[in-house]
Amino acid sequence: MITQPESQLNQPHPLSGTKMNGAEMVVQVLADQGVDTVFGYSGGAILPTFDAVFRYNEENAPEGKDAISLIVPANEQGACFMASGYARATGKVGAVIVTSGPGATNCVTPVRDCMADSIPIVVVCGQVATSSIGTDAFQEAPVSGIMGSVAKHVFLVTDPTRLEMTMRSAMEIAQSGRPGPVVIDIPKDVQNWEGSYLGEGLLSIPGYNHRIQATRNNIMTEEKCKEFFSFLAKSERPLIYAGGGVINAEASDAMRAFSLAFKIPVVTTLMGLGSFDTTHPLALHMLGMHGAAYANYAVDDCDLLIAFGGRFDDRVAGDPPKFAGSAKHILHFDIDPSEINKVKTADWNYVGLMAPALDELTNYGKRQKFTKNLETWHNDIQDLKQTYALNYDRDSELIQPNYIIETINKITQGNAIISTGVGQHQMWAAQYFDFCEPRLWMTSGSMGTMGFGLPAAIGAQFGQPDKLVIDVDGDASIRMNLGELETVTTYELPIKVLVLNNYGDGMVMQWQRLFFKGRLSASDKSLRKKDFVEAARADGFKYAERLNQKQDAPKVLKEFIAYKGPAFLEVIIDPEAGVYPMVPPGMSYQAMLTGDFIPNRYDGTIKEEPNASELF
């Protein structure tokens, strides 16, 4: 939500009435909203805005530093993923400026990615002049039509007097309610138009504002608290299921306080990692398709499931009727009313701001001196964690990816920002890294977009310059945006790029081995000629090494993480290493495959082929 310092309330903006062109207004609104970093790639239709950024910095930059840093990637997809990484790492809106036509269409995938993961970014696109729209002019694309189906909202600004309010409204929409990407399509003549800067004002969006205000006004009443605790009082095995909504809502501290106050264990989704300290005794790490076996078994065993900001998606609840099958009741918190009862019916729900609601619940329980002896449940949880712990072939002479991540985790101690591409490496990273706080884990969850990891790490490093940022990538995934290696060295970012190379699309190959009789159609890249180390060196990495001997791993990994500047390390891993546990698509946790090194309390074999239409 956009707020002004109290000292500025009811006071005119210092630039109110100043003559500006449209491009200058775009930049001024971004500055007014606290945007300090913009990711973008120039082109003809957006030149006025890029020029306005240059002139704004000349007039307002402190000595030796830009007021608004303008980061130029290898392509526009990289720019949007950088903005996404920035937003995920900081909680602020990521800002992007790109040109028309291919500049805008290159942003479609990351815009959809941000929509799917509820990430707030604002994408400013240049457009051909208003009079040329619809004529198939040079570098024209129907941005409103294309983006309208993948973004939270799209604006096409044809009335220049509404440009300033549109920019401000876009920032508000991106952040409010369930966050998401907003796209603003600005014709070149609107950028060149001149008018007076107001310094205030939003567009009238009554329907949206009414819905947002309803969630903001909803409070956790005494009666709602009483109902909630009546369910908790009857439970012997309560479990918190925390999704990415907890992090987006800045509710991690409130949820932790609630969990610790009433000693309720916590499982998190892929997107919820870090919302609860994974090293805490009450933490069960990640549930779902590739979640820890003990986390999934805890879900099977719980008699009360409390969902915070989770949406029961297919990677968590593959077989919805059997998900949390022993739970007598489900309680669901979310900011989005459409998520309530969408997949699983909730016996109690709350739609509103999560952090204050959780604070009120915790305070109510303390006022009522609510206590519950959960010692038996805690003992059961500890038994599950010890019996069904993550494991792999520790005696293999080949380098196991789990071992690499486990070793790095001992160095980082759950305090590094970890970005990933998509595939097996993504799941190994989610399983074997610890996260002591939120906004340390960034991955493409719902869309599963290969090529996300490297540009997202760049955005995260700009957002958190004092943090250690590691991109854990795969040989197939990093190829998608390999050009951003040069961006890392251009801006001298101390990012550590780790490529786990199994010479192919590892996750696809795993599915092909399990469900397609081992036919590795189009996934085996063992004949490809890419030399990643030479590519990194060509792009300016002074530290670029290859690790292919297991005994060298501890020394090399320590040097890699300790290196002061940009560092690149390719690790040649076991090409047949699999990600386990694995729940076959569309199936319950009772069908979970745990591989050769994790015990399974059920049968542990594929009894029936998954529905072919549900694969991937």
Average pLDDT over residues 468-485: 97
**155 in Cβ contact with 106 (< 8 Å):** no
Average pLDDT over residues 25-39: 97
Residue 577 located in a structural domain: no
Polymer length of the chain: 616
At 613, the pLDDT band (50, 70, 90 cuts) reads: low
Residues paired with residue 307 on neighbouring β-strands, in sequence order:
241, 332
Rounded Cα distance between 520 and 508, Å, is 8
At 11, the pLDDT band (50, 70, 90 cuts) reads: confident
**118 in Cβ contact with 179 (< 8 Å):** yes
Nearest to 83 by CA among 121, 53, 57: 121
Rounded Cα distance between 199 and 186, Å, is 19
The verdict on 62 and 205 lying in the same domain is yes
What is the domain extent for residue 445?
401-572
Average pLDDT over residues 202-206: 95
CA distances from 175 to 167, 171, 241 (A): 13, 6, 24
The verdict on 74 and 197 lying in the same domain is yes
Compute how many other C-beta atoms are within 10 angstroms of the C-beta atom of residue 16: 12
CA distances from 182 to 164, 165, 300, 314, 442 (A): 15, 14, 39, 26, 20
Active-site residue, selected from the candidate residues 54, 139, 328, 515: 139
**154 in Cβ contact with 144 (< 8 Å):** yes
Rounded Cα distance between 465 and 67, Å, is 16
**572 in Cβ contact with 284 (< 8 Å):** no
The verdict on 292 and 238 lying in the same domain is yes
Average pLDDT over residues 384-404: 98
> E strand or H helix at 27, and its extent?
helix 22-32
Q: Of 328, 358, 387, which one is at a domain's C-terminal end?
A: 387
Tokens matching residue 232: 């908790």
Report the CATH number at residue 474. 3.40.50.970
Rounded Cα distance between 455 and 62, Å, is 27
Residue 335 has pLDDT above 60, yes or no: yes
Average pLDDT over residues 74-85: 98
Active-site residue, selected from the candidate residues 115, 354, 507, 592: 507
What 3-state DSSP class applies to 262?
A: helix
Residue 523 located in a structural domain: yes
Compute how many other C-beta atoms are within 10 angstroms of the C-beta atom of residue 278: 20
pLDDT computed for residue 162 by the predictor? 98
Residue 611 has pLDDT above 80, yes or no: no
pLDDT computed for residue 603 by the predictor? 81
Active-site residue, selected from the candidate residues 152, 188, 385, 525: 188
Rounded Cα distance between 366 and 370, Å, is 6
Per the annotation, the verdict on 400 as an active-site residue is: no
> E strand or H helix at 79, and its extent?
helix 76-90
The verdict on 207 and 230 lying in the same domain is no
The verdict on 226 and 205 lying in the same domain is no
Rounded Cα distance between 543 and 565, Å, is 8
Nearest to 104 by CA among 62, 43, 165: 43
Average pLDDT over residues 72-93: 98
Per the annotation, the verdict on 286 as an active-site residue is: no
The verdict on 308 and 273 lying in the same domain is yes
Residue 583 located in a structural domain: no
Rounded Cα distance between 30 and 93, Å, is 10
Active-site residue, selected from the candidate residues 20, 24, 76, 480: 76
pLDDT computed for residue 616 by the predictor? 60
Residue 249 has pLDDT above 80, yes or no: yes
Residue 615 has pLDDT above 90, yes or no: no
pLDDT computed for residue 98 by the predictor? 98
pLDDT computed for residue 605 by the predictor? 75
Residue 19 located in a structural domain: yes
Angle between helices 22-32 and 47-60 (to 10 degrees): 50
The verdict on 417 and 494 lying in the same domain is yes
> E strand or H helix at 191, and its extent?
helix 188-192
At 9, the pLDDT band (50, 70, 90 cuts) reads: low
Phi/psi at 145 (5° precision): -70, -40
Q: Of 215, 249, 264, which one is at a domain's C-terminal end?
A: 215
Residue by residue, DSSP assigns 497-524 as EEEEE-SB-HHHHHHHHHHSTT--TTTB
Rounded Cα distance between 348 and 189, Å, is 52
Average pLDDT over residues 21-45: 98
**473 in Cβ contact with 495 (< 8 Å):** no
pTM, entire model = 0.96
User: Which tens digit of pLDDT belongs to each residue from 222-237?
Assistant: 999 999 999 999 999 9
Active-site residue, selected from the candidate residues 4, 19, 58, 138: 138
User: Which tens digit of pLDDT belongs to each residue from 538-566?
Assistant: 999 999 999 999 999 999 999 999 999 99
What 3-state DSSP class applies to 469?
A: strand
Residue 169 has pLDDT above 50, yes or no: yes
Residue 588 located in a structural domain: no
pLDDT computed for residue 526 by the predictor? 83
Residue 1 has pLDDT above 50, yes or no: no
Rounded Cα distance between 332 and 231, Å, is 12
Per the annotation, the verdict on 507 as an active-site residue is: yes
The verdict on 77 and 197 lying in the same domain is yes
Report the CATH number at residue 360. 3.40.50.1220
For the chain, give the percent of residues with pLDDT over 90. Answer: 92
**307 in Cβ contact with 244 (< 8 Å):** no
Angle between helices 424-432 and 506-515 (to 10 degrees): 100
Dihedral angle, C-alpha 146, 149, 153, 154, nearest 10 °: 10
Tokens matching residue 413: 């101690």
Residue 551 located in a structural domain: yes
CA distances from 570 to 411, 433, 542, 576 (A): 18, 19, 14, 17
**412 in Cβ contact with 498 (< 8 Å):** no
Phi/psi at 108 (5° precision): -60, -50
Q: Of 166, 197, 215, which one is at a domain's C-terminal end?
A: 215
At 612, the pLDDT band (50, 70, 90 cuts) reads: low
> E strand or H helix at 212, and its extent?
helix 206-217
Per the annotation, the verdict on 139 as an active-site residue is: yes
Per the annotation, the verdict on 276 as an active-site residue is: no
The verdict on 326 and 353 lying in the same domain is yes
pLDDT computed for residue 5 by the predictor? 42
Rounded Cα distance between 201 and 499, Å, is 47
The verdict on 407 and 459 lying in the same domain is yes
Mean of the per-residue pLDDT values of the chain: 95
The verdict on 197 and 268 lying in the same domain is no
The verdict on 266 and 294 lying in the same domain is yes
DSSP letter (8 states) at residue 421 = -
At 3, the pLDDT band (50, 70, 90 cuts) reads: very low
Average pLDDT over residues 587-611: 87
DSSP letter (8 states) at residue 162 = G
Residue 578 located in a structural domain: no
Domain count, the chain: 3
Residue 147 located in a structural domain: yes
